[in-house]
Structure 1
Amino acid sequence: MVEQTFNALMLREEDRKTRAAVETLSFDALPAEDTLVKIDYSTINYKDALAVTGTGKVVKAWPLVPGIDFAGTVVETTNPQLNAGQKVVLTGWGVGEKHWGGYSQYQRVRGDWLVPLPDGLGTREAMMVGTAGLTAMLCVSALESAGVTPQSGPVLVTGATGGVGSIAVAILKHLGYTVSALTHNPEKHDYVRGLGASEIVDGPQWAESPRALEGQRWAAAIDTVGSKVLARVLAEMNYGGVVAACGLAGGADLPTTVMPFILRCVNLIGVDSVMLPLKNRIAAWQRIVTDLPVSVLDAITAKTVRLTEVPSAAADLLAGKVRGRLLVDVN
């Protein structure tokens, strides 16, 4: 190994406040795990933004290198399933929360957490997809497993200009679904239409608690928001409709009733990408190669930032100033 030191964005707790700064580290500072990866790219997800800004209680161990996902090349490993020189992607497993993560030029992690990059996907493209894209793919798969087809009717995607929502719209459109997109920002309507949304949904009612049952509108939905938005989605589902819920950007509460479930037979499916078994991750990444058009990745990726720019970009994401994905070039 030529390098003696490398750069990483480090979070430290000072006077109960989070301080984020790029630091120069030596390799013996890294965790004692079995695989060393030279990182090419990471991303800024909603959870990353909470961690870096100290807004949410995401960080479980101090000090911490944040970044819940990354893609790069295996430098050395004792894991029998991996080889030096192999391109890999990591998402979840508590990385960037309680284990050191992707905002670093190098990282040591458990080899069992790494997914070999499928053919047709480079490290940059993998992080244009990232945790958000993996979660979107899992949500689409959950709807399909519950019997939803393009012929079932319109599918609503909430938080449609965010990372998960944007990629969910693109995948659903590619698979032939009629997609409706919920977004409160008129400036982003053309963006989601460009990804494949045939209808833009908005209105003051989405900030209010719905009645137990509203008019039936959707065959299925992917919800990234939670709280009153998810409650309204459930109240507006068609009989036998399916909702895949994966986020809480609007809140962790769910002010609903049992009515959608017992009177309209609505199915609510929870989707998690953090502790997903490896075989399911591999299958999802394989589907991403075929079901997410590469041509939309540039449209979904808002911009690429350096390690030093991550804190300000994270604040912009939380303030709703970012559409799509934020790519981090750690080098």
Structure 2
Amino acid sequence: MAPVTNGRVLFNAIPEDYPVPGKTVVYDTTETIDFENVPLNGGILIKVLLLSLDPYMRGRLRAPEIESYMPAFPLGEPLTGGGIGVVLRSENDAVKAGTHVRGWLAHQQYYIAPNLSMLEVIDRDSKLDWSVYIGAAGMPGETAFAGWREYSEAKKGEVAFITTGAGPVGSMVIQIAKQDGVKVIASAGSEEKVKFMREIGADVVFNYKTTDVREVLKKEGPIDIYWDNVGGDTLDAAMEFAAKHSRFIECGQISGYNQGYQPMKNPGLIFAKCMHFHGFLLAVLRPKHSAAFQAEVVPKLVSGEYKFTEDISHGLDKVGDVLLAIQKGTNKGKAIVRVADE
């Protein structure tokens, strides 16, 4: 078989603030691959089907000397991240051709994985598309479940404030919190997203771009649990209207990802109100909560009891646009790039 194009998304330039499509990352078609003859050296050849694009990826678009909890993307090399692919060839006895794998994939059409250390063999329920397994039934859903179960200490009748409540993590937190009998206040950045939050059970919903968060929290609080995806002034507001012994679950702070983090306005509230702050990474909590997530959450996605939204773009050349949309908050669901059909 003649070599075919192996399109790739390369990290081209470190952005000053927001990533710029076509500059920060570029779509490259100069590489080719021969499926039948390319050396695998004991690895597996994967056709990439779906890629997950997520807010944390902005932090990897940085200079390598800047330390963080995840490594920087190497300049000139393909981006990497969560995804799903199908195995075309294998020299690994643990996986056969035709098997689907989920995990760490390069942002390219075809990828040779040296081993399965960053991948898992996965099957799907026929009622769910593969895309759901990198969204509500994947990392975002697991993040919501593990963080809430580990740190919320939710009691029936308590009040929770959940930011980015229409996003892939926040929307799952809303639904899990409601099943725990919690009153949920939730915010998002468009009327369409506000409507979705209401549909999935949030008790009080508002558009933070048109409504004063402090007015809402003053009326509907005090809050016992705060799920933070945004940081910045919204975090300050949550602290101002928090109850004593409130739990703050720090999942992310996207307001600081592109233009820098702002300091807390009144950190003294932490001890004055006996607050509990919990920052977490899913990789740390996953071993403890993965089995319960599969048993409790995935069946509810299959049955339709838990709702989710997806924003699927087609083609690797759309990655740059999707990365920017996530940072700007203009995506309308879990951001996924469909690289190819099977």
Say yes or no: TM over 0.5: yes
Task: Specify the SS of the correspondent of 2:326.
Answer: helix
1:147 aligns with 2:146: no
Determine if contact 1:4/1:26 at 8 Å carries over to the other structure: yes
User: Which residue of structure 1 aligns with residue 101 of structure 2?
Assistant: 88
Contact 1:89 1:123 in 2 (8 A): no
Distance in structure 2 (CA, Å) of the matches to 1:30 and 1:214: 64
Preserved contact between residue 229 and residue 251 of structure 2 (Cα < 8 Å): yes
Q: Is the 8 A contact 1:137 1:168 kept in 2?
A: yes
Match of 2:203 among 193, 198, 201: 198
Matches within 5 A, 1:259-270: 259-270=268-279
**Corresponding position: 1:326 with 2:335:** yes
Equivalence for 1:69: 82
2:264 aligns with one of 250, 255, 258: 255
Mapped to 2, the partners of 1:198 and 1:228 lie a distance apart of: 22
Deviation at residue 306 of structure 1 after TM alignment: 2.1
Distance 1:153 1:111 in 2: 43
Contact 1:170 1:296 in 2 (8 A): no
> Which residue of structure 1 lines up, in the alignment, with residue 6 of structure 2?
7
Sort the Cα spacing of 1:327 and 1:6 in 2 relative to 1 into closer, same or farther, 3 A. Answer: same
Q: Contact between 1:86 and 1:116, CA under 8 Å: does it hold in 2?
A: yes
**Which stretch shows the higher mean deviation, 134-143 or 188-197?**
134-143
Q: Take 2:219 and 2:266, find their aligned partners in 1: how far apart are those partners? A: 12
Alpha-carbon separation, structure 1, partners of 2:168 and 2:246: 24
Q: 1:172 to 1:148 in 2, by over 3 A?
A: closer
- Between the aligned partners of 1:53 and 1:192, the Cα distance in structure 2 is 33
Distance, in Å, in 1 between the alignment partners of 2:321 and 2:143 is 25
In structure 1, C-alpha distance between the alignment counterparts of 2:317 and 2:119, rounded to whole Å? 26
**Aligned residue pair count:** 313
Q: Is 23-32 or 5-14 further displaced after alignment?
A: 23-32
Confirm or deny that 1:60 pairs with 2:73.
Answer: yes
More moved, 294-303 vs 160-169: 294-303
Hey, what does 1:38 align to over in structure 2? 47
Distance in 1 (CA, whole Å) between partners of 2:201 and 2:42 is 42
Alignment partners' CA distance in 2, 1:110 and 1:256: 47
Query: For structure 1, which segment, 250-259 or 192-201, has the greater mean C-alpha deviation from structure 2 after superposition?
Result: 250-259
TM-score by length of 1: 0.75
2:133 pairs with 1:126: yes
Higher helix content, 1 or 2: 1
After TM superposition, the structure 1 = structure 2 runs for residues 156-171 of structure 1, keeping only pairs within 5 Å, are 156-171=161-176
Q: Secondary structure at the match of 1:317?
A: helix
Q: Are the counterparts in 2 of residues 12 and 19 from structure 1 also a CA contact under 8 Å?
A: yes
Q: CA separation in 2, counterparts of 1:25 and 1:284?
A: 43
Choose 303-312 or 170-179, whichever is displaced more: 170-179
Residue identity in the other structure for 1:311: G
Q: Which residue of 2 aligns with 1:311?
A: 320
How far 1:193 sits from its partner (Å)? 0.9
Shift, 1:225, TM fit: 0.5
CA–CA separation in structure 2 for the residues paired with 1:277 and 1:327: 24
Per-residue displacement from partner, 1:168-224 (whole Å, max 9, x unpaired)? 22333355443211124334321211222121144665499x9xx999521212110
The answer to whether the 8 A contact 1:148-1:242 is kept is: no
- Rounded to whole Å, the distance in 1 between the matches of 2:42 and 2:232 is 38
SS in 2 for 1:161: coil
- Residues 174 and 293, structure 1, Cα contact 8 Å, conserved in 2: no
Gaps of 5+ in 1: none
1:20 paired with 2:29, answer no
Partner residue, 1:189: 194
Superposition TM-score, scaled by structure 2 size: 0.73
**Partners of 1:171 and 1:293 in 2: CA distance:** 15
Q: Secondary structure at the match of 1:276?
A: helix
Q: How big is each residue's C-alpha offset from its partner over 1:203-254, in whole Å with a ceiling of 9 and x where there is no partner?
A: 665499x9xx999521212110012212222332222221211112112344
Q: What amino acid maps onto 2:158 in structure 1?
A: G
| Greater C-alpha radius of gyration | 2
**Cα pair 2:51 2:339 within 8 Å, conserved:** yes
Q: Give yes or no for contact 2:102–2:119 (8 Å, CA) kept in 1.
A: yes
1:279 aligns with 2:287: yes
How high is the sequence identity, in percent, across the aligned residues?
18
**Mean alpha-carbon deviation: is it higher for 77-86 or for 190-199?**
77-86
